[in-house]
Homo-oligomer: A and B are copies of this chain.
Amino acid sequence: MAVIRGLRRRRRAAAPVADDAARTRRPRRRIRLENDQRRAQLLALGIQAFSDRTYDDVSIDDIARAAGISKGLLYHYFPTKRDLYLAGLRTTADDLIATTTAAASPSLPPLERMRAGLDAYLDHVSHHARPFVALMRGGIGSDPEVVAVIEGVRATYVQRFLENAEGTPLAGMLMANRPLVRIAIRGWIGFVEAASLEWLTRKDVERTTLRDVLVDALLASLRIGAAGPSGPPRT
């Protein structure tokens, strides 16, 4: 017992106003911004804050102070702390999808397209490591809306992938064993995320090598899912 750790998590800044200054301070000139600009500013600050610190360790007052506005105004733009968090999460997720979608041009042959998409994915991920990790870890665990955003990204990829496969010789195989193919694809996405995280922490593998591993893993996963597992050795 008597464990010492724990304590308050947040540190307060020292008392901000010297007693003399209180007299001097003028009503503090308001800076008026266009609706969209303010919103964008707050969103950016929010993403940054939630990437650096835990959800609980970020206080609305902090963000308001960083933006140089009052807390009330922040609540005018985002009715809830959770809303601010979610808006940031959605932006991050949308960025990721937009980047990869742009790179995976439909004019490319399927496999080539897959490679281009993965290249963009890994590139984006390594340039936005903090927000990406925050996204994947899901800042507020098990919150349904948070889960929805993350699952949304995955679902988008699954769908995009199936569209991509359409017309190729794979298509028939994929349709034949639906539930298992679903599992295989979801599993592969889990593979990609886990491998990316591992790759981000120790960067001891070329990006192109990792990309090729991921492609190979996808093909293997599909083969297993479509044909069914080999099963234990028949004795």
Chain A interface (Cβ < 8 Å from any Cβ of B): 1, 3, 5-7, 54-56, 76-77, 79-80, 82-83, 115, 133-134, 137-143, 147, 179-180, 182-184, 186-195, 197-199, 202, 204-205, 209-210, 212-213, 215-217, 220-221, 224-225, 228-232
Given A138-B138, A195-B187, A230–B212 Cβ distance below 8 Å?
yes
Interchain CB contact under 8 A, B187 and A191: yes
Integer count of this chain's copies in the complex = 2
Contact B213–A199 (Cβ < 8 Å): no
Question: CA separation between A179 and B195, bound complex, in Å?
Answer: 11
Residues of B within 8 A of A204 (CB): 179
A142-B139, A191-B190 as given contacts; A217 in contact with B224, CB under 8 Å: yes
Partner of A54, one of B142, B189, B194, B197: B142
